[in-house]
Structures are given as structure tokens and as C-alpha cells.
A = this chain, B = another copy of it.
Amino acid sequence: MAHKSQTKDDVRVRRSQQRVRQAVFDLTVEKGFTAVTVSDIAARAQVNRSTFYRHFLDKHDVVRRYLDEVQALAARRAAAQVGQPRPGAEHIPAGLLALLQEIQGHARFFKVMLGKQGDPAFAHRFRQITEKRYRLLFAAGGQQAASSSLPVDLQVAYIAHATLGALLWWLEHGQPISVEQLAIDLGRLNLTAAGMVMGPPGPRH
């Protein structure tokens, strides 16, 4: 397999899609995702509007697929790391690192996209990815979570949102610390917060 001449391998196709994606990035930064129209995109991408529709369902489809690719990439990186010798003091998950690197590469795009001018569906999907990561983390070193009196869903939602908040802060303040440092800090935050959320085990409902 993989040697068949696919439509997706067509030079023109790749060129068109790449142009469209870049146009969406640029325009979103310029005027906010909401205000971007397919006509805008086509014009900026120097592609006919009907060509856009040949490749994407709508503007949401462009960013949805992009997010999927990023997520797939992160997953691949994470998978590749499994079984690797654990590094010392501060361990940086390869998946998270890849994700953050991609985000930094398109910092302004993500900042807008996850903000008030953005796409709620995009933000939601992004949050889901984050939640999934934490769910796995909790499952892995789950003793703490198990001991908590709070539902896992709640813990996950709490930490995922918080993480996204921190990430947004990072984006909106010009990424003041390195991606690596951010990964470490987030990791620490996560774990501590996890402990915290379940922390004070006062008698509940």
C-alpha cells in the first residue's frame, strides 16, 4: 500500500489545501475566526471558491482537520516515547511537548481561536483532547484519583479548563517562558492541582 497514486498526492491538491490552511490562519489572526468568510479565504489563498469546497466542507472543517492532525502528531510522539528510559528529575511527555511546540508555532492563531473571537467548537475539541490526556494520566497513576471523594469527570474538567486557562495566559502574554518550561510547569500544576481538588476531604453531599 501507500504506493497508489492518490488524489491527495496530487501536487495541485496539496498546494490548494496548504494555501487554504495558511489563509485561514492569517485571516483568523487578522479579524477573528467568526468574521472570516469562505470568500475571504479563497481570495487570500489565491484559489477559486469552488476549489475550497472541493476540499473542505466549510471553514470549520479546515481548523477541525488541522486540530486532528496536531492531535495525531502528538499521539504519535507519545507512542514513540513509551518504553523509553525515564529521564531524571523533570520528565517532559513527548506528546505534550509536540503539542505545545505546534501551538507556539501558531501562537497568534491559537490565541484568537480559543478566545472570544474564536470558534467554540474548536475550543471544545481542544479541551476534549486535554481532558483525554488527563484521564489517561489519572488512570495511570490513579491511586490519588481513586482516593478522592470527587468524581473523576469533575477532576478532569477542573484541571483541563485550568490548564487551558494557563495556556491562554501564556499565549496572551507573548509566551514568556519556553515551551519546555511550560510543559514542566503544567505537569507540576496538574499533579498538584489533582491532589488539591481531592484534597480537603470534608464530608460531602
Chain A positions within 8 Å of B, measured between CB atoms, are 34, 115-121, 123-125, 151, 153-154, 157-166, 168-169, 173, 176-178, 181, 185, 188-189, 192-193, 195-197, 199-200, 202, 204-205
Taking a contact as CB atoms closer than 8 A, the residue among B118, B151, B193, B204 that contacts A196 in the complex is B193
15 pairs, CB–CB < 8 Å, chain A vs chain B: A117-B120, A120-B120, A151-B169, A154-B166, A158-B166, A159-B162, A161-B161, A161-B164, A161-B166, A162-B193, A181-B204, A188-B200, A192-B200, A193-B193, A196-B196
> Which residue on chain B has the smallest CB distance to residue A178?
B205
Chain B proximity of A195: nearest CB distance (Å): 8
Taking a contact as CB atoms closer than 8 A, the residue among B169, B178, B193 that contacts A157 in the complex is B169
Q: Are B169 and A158 in contact (CB under 8 A)?
A: yes
> Which residue on chain B has the smallest CB distance to residue A124?
B116
Q: Are A192 and B196 in contact (CB under 8 A)?
A: yes
The 10 residue pairs across chains A and B that have the minimum distance between CB atoms: A161-B165, A116-B124, A162-B162, A196-B196, A157-B165, A157-B169, A161-B161, A116-B121, A154-B169, A158-B165
Q: Are B177 and A205 in contact (CB under 8 A)?
A: yes
Chain B proximity of A75: nearest CB distance (Å): 22
- Known A-B contacts A157-B169, A176-B205, A189-B158; the reply to A120 vs B124 at CB < 8 A is no
Chain B residues lying within 8 Å of A118, measured Cβ to Cβ, are 120
What separation, in Å, do the CA atoms of A121 and B120 have in the docked complex? 9
Q: Are B173 and A153 in contact (CB under 8 A)?
A: yes
Taking a contact as CB atoms closer than 8 A, the residue among B34, B120, B159, B176 that contacts A116 in the complex is B120
Q: Are A169 and B153 in contact (CB under 8 A)?
A: yes
Chain B residues lying within 8 Å of A173, measured Cβ to Cβ, are 151, 153
Chain B residues lying within 8 Å of A123, measured Cβ to Cβ, are 116, 120
Chain B proximity of A185: nearest CB distance (Å): 8
> Which residue on chain B has the smallest CB distance to residue A33?
B120
Chain B proximity of A16: nearest CB distance (Å): 20
For the complex with contacts A115-B120, A176-B205, A189-B197, 11 further pairs of A-B residues with Cβ separation under 8 Å are: A115-B124, A117-B120, A120-B120, A153-B169, A158-B165, A159-B165, A161-B161, A161-B164, A189-B196, A193-B193, A195-B196
